[in-house]
Amino acid sequence: MLDIGVTYPTGYLLSSMEEQVMASAGHGVHHHPAWFGVVMGTGAVALVLASQADAWSIPFLDVAAAVVLAAASLAALLLWPRYLRRLTDRGALAAELADPAHGAMLATFPAGLLVLAVGWGRVGPVLIGDTAALIVDAILVSIGAVIALVLSAWWATSIGRSGVGLEGVNGGWLIPPVMNLIVPLGLVPIIEALPDQAPWLVVLALGFWGVGAVLFLALLAVLVARLAFRTPIPAPMAPSLWIPLAPAGILGLALLRVLQVSGETGVLPEQVIALGIVVSAAGLGFGLWWAVFASLDLLRARREGIPFHPGWWGFVFPLAAMSLSMAAVGQAVSSTPVITVSVIGAVITVVVWLLVATRTIRLLQS
């Protein structure tokens, strides 16, 4: 096996993702911390299909979204025991969290639960009706939000004490803040259904948005410093460079949706929706620039070889986030060209999802 030879001050030896997957064979391939990215990516695809159904009034896409959401939920049911079992050995869990290469990927678990919450709130009524879907949304967003807060703080503390230098930084470090940005989206259907509870729910949603936004900006600066002042990120970890597209899309989308529902329920004046549009458009601009940058780095990494591993699901959710944000902005400003561009993003997202899902099935069968 190939060693990429990046050593950390604490004695960590960053081996390739392929090595990590092969080394975990003794524990079962599902031991990899990024497996819940399957739930994140698949759930996000369901939301992308639903957003396009709204934008173009295509009922068939709502049905497709419901089928994909059901698949994401099934994947969650199959995968969650493999994460909960980690609680039986707190020492091993603490060590895994402190691993600079993979510790942050444990955040895919609460993030996946939160994506499912958003999915059931938006797409769930097609499957089980409005009331039941809202209950599922509320349960998932409550559990996901609590785990997100605890895990992100625990991860930050573990990394802070580990003494890892810039060499240990990768795009996966942005997953903990990203999951906090998903909480407001999960709360939006609840706020719509319970307008009398809207004042405190809006404050709660904006609070989680603040956590995610500030942490994203802080960790993005750290990632940029790592890219600027250290050697390129090893090829097996190249998929992690696509993760910044997720907060770039979700940052504005979450704020826009919360401000829209705040205006609808009378918590805030409708004029504040303009702020959500501005932030969303700015995030899209940054995300598109970063996509070009990440694509160029991906070409470099492909020449070195990128073995397939669960981290490849890091391609799916970020693309979905950009498509969702673009569709929301297009509808908010009634711009057909912007909505049309979101269709391109949706198609790319679905194609990438199919490719990664196919490779994942092959991995599981090997």
Q: What does the pLDDT look like over 46-103, one tens digit per residue?
A: 999 999 999 999 999 999 999 999 999 999 999 999 899 999 998 999 999 999 988 9
For all residues of the chain together, what is the average pLDDT? 91
Which of 130-144, 202-216, 227-241, 350-364 shows the lowest mean pLDDT across its residues? 227-241
Residue-by-residue DSSP string for 92-157: HHHHHHH-TTTGGGGGHHHHHHHHHHHHHHHTTHHHH-HHHHHHHHHHHHHHHHHHHHHHHHHHHH
| pLDDT the model gives residue 195 | 97
HSE-CB at 13 with a 13 A cutoff on CA atoms is 7
* Predicted confidence band of residue 306 (pLDDT cuts 50, 70, 90): confident
CA neighbor of 4 nearest in space, from 301, 229, 310, 311: 301
Angle between helices 108-122 and 130-162 (to 10 degrees): 160
Question: CA-to-CA distance for 69 and 74, rounded, in angstroms?
Answer: 9
Dump pLDDT digits (tens) for 243-282. 999 999 999 999 999 999 999 999 999 999 999 999 999 9
Question: CA-to-CA distance for 117 and 112, rounded, in angstroms?
Answer: 9
| pLDDT the model gives residue 174 | 96
Residue of 184 and 167 predicted with greater confidence:
184
* Three-state SS at 7: strand
Assigned fold of 27-365: Glycosyltransferase (1.50.10)
**How many residues comprise the chain?**
366
Question: CA-to-CA distance for 20 and 103, rounded, in angstroms?
Answer: 13
| pLDDT the model gives residue 15 | 41
Q: Is the pLDDT of residue 150 over 80?
A: yes
| pLDDT the model gives residue 13 | 39
Neighbour tally for 316: CB within 10 Å: 29
| pLDDT the model gives residue 164 | 86
Question: CA-to-CA distance for 352 and 334, rounded, in angstroms?
Answer: 28
Question: CA-to-CA distance for 180 and 213, rounded, in angstroms?
Answer: 8
Quote the DSSP letter at residue 268. Answer: S
Question: CA-to-CA distance for 74 and 19, rounded, in angstroms?
Answer: 28
Amino acid 210 reads G
Dump pLDDT digits (tens) for 202-216. 999 999 999 999 999
The residue ranges of every structural domain in the chain are: 27-365
Token pair in block for residue 169: 């930084």
pTM for the model stands at 0.91
CA dihedral 31, 33, 39, 40 (to 10 degrees): -170
* Predicted confidence band of residue 29 (pLDDT cuts 50, 70, 90): low
Q: What residues have CB less than 8 Å from 238, skipping those under 6 apart?
A: 297, 298, 301, 302, 306
Q: Is the pLDDT of residue 323 over 80?
A: yes
Please name the helix (run of DSSP H) or strand (run of DSSP E) that holds residue 6, with its range, or none. strand 6-7
* Predicted confidence band of residue 312 (pLDDT cuts 50, 70, 90): very high
| pLDDT the model gives residue 30 | 58
* Predicted confidence band of residue 364 (pLDDT cuts 50, 70, 90): confident
Q: Is the pLDDT of residue 167 over 60?
A: yes
CA neighbor of 119 nearest in space, from 161, 72, 152: 72
Q: What residues have CB less than 8 Å from 17, skipping those under 6 apart?
A: 236, 237, 307, 309, 311
